[in-house]
Amino acid sequence: MKVLKQKRFRKTVRFYKACFAFREPFKVLCDGNFLHFALSQRLGSLQDALPSLLGAATKAFVTRCIIAELKQLGESFSGTLLAARRLEIAKLDRCNHEPFKSASDCLGAMVGDNNPEHFFIATQDAELRKRFCKVYGVALIFAKKNSLFLEPPSEWQQKFSRLSEAERMHVKEQELKIIDFRAMKKKEAELIQNLDDSNHGADHAEGVSHKVSSALAKEETFEQRRNLNVKERPVFKRKRAKGPNPLSCQKKQKKPVPGLGVDNHTTPHTPSRRKRCRRRNRHNCSSGNIS
């Protein structure tokens, strides 16, 4: 549920950025009841809660009239007064009220008719939120229980964004004048080019004949060179792959003779050696025989 809520808030922020030119860092204008509710519900510091809600850097502001109203409320709002003094004060010509006005009137003066400063208004006043829903370009923030919520754009704001988009789709008078001026200049250039072509027709014919003659001359020279077997470009001998290095190759193994292998359980045939016969000494032989 939390993921769906964040997606809805991001969609609302994109709407105000695209249709009403809201830019980062976003400016949030807080009133006294919103700050008091945030402290009572322990929502934490607004410097951390507002960026997580809007998905971008934010700056929280208050006005002098809001601080003056919190002073008048007494000690029960002393903590809210300290929290408001930690925020930046909106220094605009719209909040120079003397004497100070109420917070709702001051916020209405700050927003005006079209919210030129692109403020996010953070308030717990339901009537004030209904009032600002009719002003285009005003985004509203409120707190509920222990979390912050960004109110979706009202139907009136959506209708206004559609009308403004339709107006942007139409072509303005200044743009039409620019288009007509460019078309007129293009026609003038075409007329001038046609006049030049009619005046220089003979020159153009001479140029064409010159190009044809030069092309024929090139063809004749090409045929002559081909008959003489003259090559136009040098032909380089292509390097082909050579054989392997014999020193890096493995020596071939001799194939076994069929029928004499180990599988046949036979011993290889070895050539017979010539017997060496010794000659006996005849003298010894003859003496032995006499004896």
Task: Kindly tell me if the per-residue pLDDT of 158 is higher than 60.
Answer: yes
> pTM for this structure?
0.56
**178, pLDDT greater than 50:** yes
The yes-or-no verdict on residue 273 having pLDDT over 70 is: no
Show contacts of 34-38: CB within 8 Å, 24+ apart. Answer: 34/122, 34/123, 34/124, 34/141, 34/142, 34/143, 35/62, 35/80, 35/83, 35/84, 36/77, 36/80, 37/124, 37/143, 38/83, 38/143
Whether residue 239 has pLDDT greater than 60: yes
Q: What local confidence, expressed as pLDDT, does residue 212 receive?
A: 54
Q: How many CB atoms lie within 10 A of CB 227?
A: 8
**How far is the C-alpha of 153 from the C-alpha of 142, rounded, in Å?**
14
Strand partners, 119: 27
Mean pLDDT of 166-170: 59
What's the average model confidence in pLDDT over 202-225?
58
Q: Given this model, what pLDDT does residue 44 score?
A: 83
Mean pLDDT over 190-219 rounds to: 60
The arithmetic mean of pLDDT across residues 221-235, rounded, is 57
Residues with Cβ within 8 Å of residue 114, at least 6 apart in sequence: 135, 136, 137
Strand order in the sheet with 139-144: 88-89, 58-62, 26-30, 119-122, 139-144, 147-150
DSSP per residue over 5-51, as a string? HHHHHHHHHHHHHHHH---SSEEEEE-HHHHHHHHHTT---HHHHHH
Buried b (16+ CB within 10 A) or exposed e, 179-188: eeeeeeeeee
Residue 227 pLDDT more than 50?
yes
Mean of the pLDDT values across residues 238-256?
Answer: 79
In this predicted structure, the answer to whether residue 203 has a pLDDT above a threshold of 60 is no
Position 228, amino acid: L
Q: How many CB atoms lie within 10 A of CB 31?
A: 25
Confidence of residue 139 (pLDDT cuts 50, 70, 90): very high
Residue 201 pLDDT exceeds 60 = no
- Tell me the percentage of the chain whose pLDDT exceeds 70: 65
Pairing mode of beta strands 147-150, 58-62: unpaired
Q: State residue 35's pLDDT score.
A: 92
Give the pLDDT score at 142: 93
Tell me the pLDDT band of 119, cut-offs 50, 70 and 90: very high
**Per-residue pLDDT tens over the stretch 254-267:** 777 666 554 444 45
